[in-house]
Amino acid sequence: MIMSGSAASDQAWPEPAVVIRNIYEGQSHIFRPETGKNVGTDIAPVVDVIMAGRIIKGVPVRLLERVT
């Protein structure tokens, strides 16, 4: 499981999100699902998005796909 900011990002979101802050360098934390322990921290390009009126900060770009 990868945690970014305040939201788990390993599952599909129920609706589209909109990028509200351009790419910047941030951290994502990698957790083992069975123990909940942090096994690593990754420095990666991240963005902030808004979905259903909620702002999610620090979402790694590699977890997103563009919808056109």
Tens digits of residue pLDDT in 4-41: 444 545 567 788 889 999 999 998 878 888 888 888 88
Bridge-based pairing of strands 18-31 and 38-51 is antiparallel
Q: Which of 24, 23, 21, 27 is nearest to 6 (CA)?
A: 27
Higher pLDDT, 8 or 61: 61
Tens digits of residue pLDDT in 35-51: 888 888 889 899 999 98
